[in-house]
Amino acid sequence: MPDKIVINHATVRERADMLSFIALCAERGLEAVSIWGDEIDKVGEAEASKALAEAGLEVFGYNRIGPFDEAHLARAEAELERAARFEADHVFVFTGGLAPGERDLAAARSQCEATIAELLSIARRAGVKLALEPLHPMLFGDRTLLASLREANDLCDRLGEGIGLVVDVYHVWWDPQLRAEIERAGRAGRILGFHVNDWLVPTRHLLKDRGMMGDGVIDLPGIDRMVRDAGYRGPIEVEIFSDAWWQRDPAEVIDTAIARCRSIFPDACANEGALT
C-alpha cells in the first residue's frame, strides 16, 4: 500500500500544471492530492477529472473559497459545487485580510464570521466540509482575519456541523496553546488535515519562504504526535510556498518531500491503507 502522504499542488504549481502534477503524484504511488480551482480553470474541468480518474487519485483538499471580497464571494457557490463534483474531502476557507481603509477589527471579525456562516449553509447543501486554516499572525490584516487555533475552534463551536480546521505547522508552531487547542479540536472530531513544511531562520519573505521539512526549527515529530494523540488518522499534506523550491524540478521537489516525510514521520507515513 502507498504512503499516507498528500502533495498540495501549490508546492510545485509554478513549474507543473495540474495534469503534470497529477502524473507526478500517480507515478509515485500516492493515493490523493490537494488541488486548486484556478489550476482546474487552466486545463478544464473535464480534463482534470479525467486525469484524476485515470490516475486513481482522490481529492483530499480543495483550494479555495475566498478571499472575502465581492468578486470571489460571487463565485463561492460554484466553487463549492465544483469541489463536490471532484468529491473533495474538504474545502479551504481563505478569509483574506482587512478591506481597504478598515480599522475596526471587532467589526471585521464579526463580518468574517457572518460570511463563513453563509458559506457553511451553501457547503452543507452541496455536501462538502469547510476547513478553517488559521494563518500566522504576521499575515493578519494582509491575508487573514483568523490567526490562531483558538479562534478557529471557537468559530467551529459556534457554527456547528460541517466545518473543521486544518493544522498547518508553519502557522501554528509558535502557539503556547498549541497542544491544548489541538486536543480540543480532536475531542470535537474536527481536525480535517495536517499540513507540513518548516520555518526557516531567518525567514526572508512573509509568504514565499517556507522550508522543506527538516530544514527549519519546527518540532515536526512533536506536533505530529499531538495531532495523532488527538485522534487524527488522515494523511500528512505537504504544502510549501517557496521561491527557492519553486525554481527546482517538480519531480525533485516531490521526491524530496516524500523522502523527508518518511524520515520525519515514519509511523504516520507507514502503509496504513485508507486516507481517513
The predicted-structure confidence for 165-201, as pLDDT tens digits, reads as follows 999 999 999 999 999 999 999 999 999 999 999 999 9
Q: Is the pLDDT of residue 264 over 80?
A: yes
Rounded distance between C-alpha atoms, residue 110 and residue 104, angstroms: 10
Residue with cell 504576521: 138
Q: What is the pLDDT of residue 268?
A: 80
Cell digits of residue 263 = 524520515
C-alpha dist (Å) from residue 160 to 105, 126, 243: 24, 16, 38
Domains and CATH numbers, the chain: 5-264 (3.20.20.150)
Mean pLDDT of the chain: 95
pLDDT confidence of 273, banded at 50, 70, 90? very low
Rounded average pLDDT over 227-246: 98
Rounded average pLDDT over 44-64: 98
In single-letter form, the type of residue at position 137 comes to: P
pLDDT confidence of 142, banded at 50, 70, 90? very high
Rounded distance between C-alpha atoms, residue 168 and residue 175, angstroms: 12
Rounded distance between C-alpha atoms, residue 31 and residue 25, angstroms: 8
Tens digits of per-residue pLDDT, 8-38?
A: 999 999 999 999 999 999 999 999 999 999 9
Q: Name the nearest CA neighbour of 72 among 37, 109, 120, 121.
A: 37
Rounded distance between C-alpha atoms, residue 262 and residue 276, angstroms: 19
**Phi (first) and psi of residue 175, to 5 degrees:** -70, 120
Q: What is the pLDDT of residue 3?
A: 59
Rounded distance between C-alpha atoms, residue 64 and residue 263, angstroms: 30
In single-letter form, the type of residue at position 263 comes to: S
Rounded average pLDDT over 62-79: 96
What Rg value do the Cα atoms of the chain yield, rounded? 18
Q: Are strands 58-65 and 130-132 parallel, antiparallel or unpaired?
A: unpaired
Q: What is the pLDDT of residue 267?
A: 85
Higher pLDDT, 267 or 162: 162
Q: What is the pLDDT of residue 1?
A: 30
* Residues 79, 91 contacting (CB under 8 angstroms): yes
C-alpha dist (Å) from residue 70 to 93, 174, 256: 15, 33, 39
Give how far the C-alpha of residue 24 lies from the chain's centroid of Cα atoms, to the nearest Å.
20
Cell digits of residue 223 = 506536533
Q: Is the pLDDT of residue 48 over 50?
A: yes
Annotate 125-157 with DSSP letters as a single string: HHT--EEE-PPPGGGBTTTBS---HHHHHHHHH
Rounded distance between C-alpha atoms, residue 252 and residue 245, angstroms: 9
